[in-house]
Structure 1
Amino acid sequence: MASIDRRQALVATFAASIAGRLPAAPTPARVEPDETIALWPGLAPGMPATPPVETIEERSKDAQAPDRAVRGIVRPRLAVFRPATPNGTAVLVAPGGGYRWVVVDKEGYEIGRWLAARGYTVFVLFYRLPGDGWAAGPDVALSDAQRAMRLIRQRAASYGLRTDRVAAMGFSAGGHVCGDLATRYDARVYVPVDAADALSARPDVAAPIYAVQSMAAPMAHKGSRDLLIGADASPARERAHTPAHNVTRATPPCFMVHAEDDDVVPIDNTLAMRAALKAAGVAVETHLFAEGGHGFGLRRAQGRPVAIWPELFHRWAQTHGLG
């Protein structure tokens, strides 16, 4: 833990030294995607007998800072943010929402525009939710994430992308989707439907941000755990859906951020994932901040050292040839 403490101190010093030189992470006005791509031809696989009804709840009273949460997703899809000048790298973004819904503005569209302004082509994932009765059960969001990665690679040429420069990023429960994808990208969780499914679903790098990771107490986020694997899940089922237990040498390099005062998803989730990555010999960069709470994204990070996390990701991605 001493090395992490030293790193945290260095990051805090770095944050303070550049606070006056780096532009603050903005809170964009209402931003909408440039286009939308359906993940599946026709109906998504494993439709429940009673399909969910997609609903959008606007949780903000500020028209300049929307906070939409989407539940009952029946049409999994990608919302695309195109840069003016593509840098050849795609980022698949999985917003959080505790597996109850998908929080599309704070952890999707805002980071989509931020990354697109720096040359990334961003695909925000509207993934199906495990509590809605899909046949894939706890693997339903992973099914959508795998399919999304394959579609991005299939369409890479039309977006000016390279197939070996596709990143994944996720927040909170979306961070679990990201971690699951990074460690189980080759798990057979759906029946192939077309030529895209012959392509790799492995991210070239992954960025689980204040991520749900463990499905076992005391680390587990109870709401996410109960919806994903059930309140009475066995220890074996918990392990099967805990990314740290599925890390291998083939897991892609990871970039992780967490705040120590996160009272929703304990920071131990990130520390356990880091330990598993280090043990497997996988490159990992971890940034821990004293303050930030949970769900800071861009807008809630402003004015604090944690606000530099997107710039840190951008610089880290560049060191891996993706920026």
Structure 2
Amino acid sequence: MHQMRGPGHRWWQPLVALLVSSIVAVVGIGLVTGVFAAAGLVTSEEQSMDVLDPMASLSGNLMIAALIPATLLGLRVGFGQGAGRVFSVAGRMRWAWLARCGAVLAPIWAAYLAIAWLADGAEVLGRPEHWVGLLVVSLLTTSLQAAAEEIFMRGGLVQGLGAWVRSPVVALGVTTLLSAALFALAHGSLDVWVLIDLGWMAAVGCWLTWRTGGLEAIIALHVVNNLLVVTLGLLAGGLEQSYVDTGVTSTPLAAGASVAATTLVAAVLLHLARRHGIAPQGWREPALG
């Protein structure tokens, strides 16, 4: 959480980073919107909100992906450090560790989603008309969308604002609360159980980032979750219910199951990180290199 707080830290640096990131994000989103509109692929706001339209889905994922260059450039300009520091203490994405996390997570999370689906009645609905196109778009761009949210929320936001706080432990607590609240609210639903579900995943993401010294573990969890949820929604039907929006609600049982599953996989990833020397022993020490 203190990657950006170097010896020459100045109070205004997070503000510059935020300003640059915002400008780049707006430009990137505008470019994606303009290209899709000019090509006649997404021609109305109503179409852009249609989760069953492959082009709208592609456009939406690419707009979120614009947060990646926005975050990297914002931190580079604001703090004058290598943009790779947002990924990990190694100054880069640790691809082998990311792949290991994904390989371990995929079967565990698939089993959790299968159990949740069976417990909910295992209802099979009709597939959407363009389900093949939606599946291709999901396989090609969902990873970018999920990674972008983590790079911005658990990377740029946490590191940028954490630089304002002198104590690393206090910085962890403050940025975890802020990141969890913003991530949960950004999905649109104000249902308390949905907010708890999303907020807990965000908080766990901050903790894993702190302990492993990088975003790889939470990126892997986010990517695996989104890919499996969308794939299940496409193959079993009910894709519309796979997305969280303003009208989505949940239950104490569903939220509790999600919190338990997220906690379990976090414990598994932390154990794996300690075994491979990614995270230090114990539970309080951050990874520093």
With normalisation by structure 1, the TM-score equals: 0.26
* More strand by percentage: 1
* More helix by percentage: 2
Q: Larger Cα Rg: Structure 1 or Structure 2?
A: 2
